Amino acid sequence: MSRDVTEASTAVGRMNIGEVHARLREDFPSLELSKLRYFESMDLVRPTRTPAGYRKYSEDDVARLRYALTLQRDHHLPLKVIREHLDALDRGLEPPPLTPGPQVPRLALAPDGYPTKESFDPESSRLRLTRRELLAAAEIDERLLSELESFGLVVPRPGSAPYDNEAIVIARTVAQLAEFGIEPRHLRAFKTAADREVGLVEQVAAPIRRSRDEGAEGRAQEVMSQIAALSVRLHAVLVKVGLRSLR
């Protein structure tokens, strides 16, 4: 994965960013093109440029990206530490040891990238984090977390480790939105809409839960998970359709 490439290798085997994105999405379904550009801006990878300014990636570049994405997804390392790993490999050294940290369950996604009903299973929220662990895992600062809590986007539970993996996803997502000037105060409408969807799910599940049939609670949970996944899918597609009018 060395950044040193020979003159011959620069002439063949080069891919554009779309081709790299397609290859990596096989293992990272939620990967966006913007993240590849962001990794470049953070100096994790240095694709060459054509005279017209188009990025061209080598197999080494793809390997670096895959390595960085794996460290981020499976070990939740901040980009600063990932860069240290890559720099060590560039110099022929062993990368720093992986520091044991909280294991965050992966979001269960369908092949099209939308959440599946498994992602709404209560078992996916068993992780418990302290405030310091959440800040490190989400790569945010204390100010942003306080804002998230003040607007009800992150709600800590009682206890010494009050945050779960959903808090990490919310915090990371809001941090990414902040790069576009969208602040937590702008996201209250999302929370209101989510609360309404929860209310609709509960209307359907409540009669099942109140029944005296054996396994009623399990069936109610299954129904809620299925409706939640369909609700998220519908919301995403409606936004996608709405964006067409802006083009």
State residue 133's pLDDT score. 86
User: What are 163's strand-pairing partners?
Assistant: 129
pLDDT of residue 2: 44
pLDDT band at 126 (very low <50, low <70, confident <90, very high): low
Q: Identify which has the larger pLDDT, 12 or 42.
A: 42
Among 198, 183, 197, smallest CA distance to 151 is for 183
Cβ-count burial 173-185 (b if 16+ within 10 Å, e if not): ebbeeeeeeeebe
pLDDT tens, 157-216? 888 889 988 888 899 889 988 888 999 999 988 899 889 999 999 999 999 888 878 788
User: Are 144 and 178 within 8 A, CB to CB?
Assistant: yes
Give me the mean pLDDT over the 74-96 stretch: 84
Angle at 163 between CA 159 and CA 167, to 5 degrees: 160
Question: In terms of C-beta distances under 8 Å and separation of at least 24 residues, what long-range contacts does 89-97 make, across chains too?
Answer: 89/1, 89/2, 90/1, 90/2, 90/3
pTM over 0.85: no
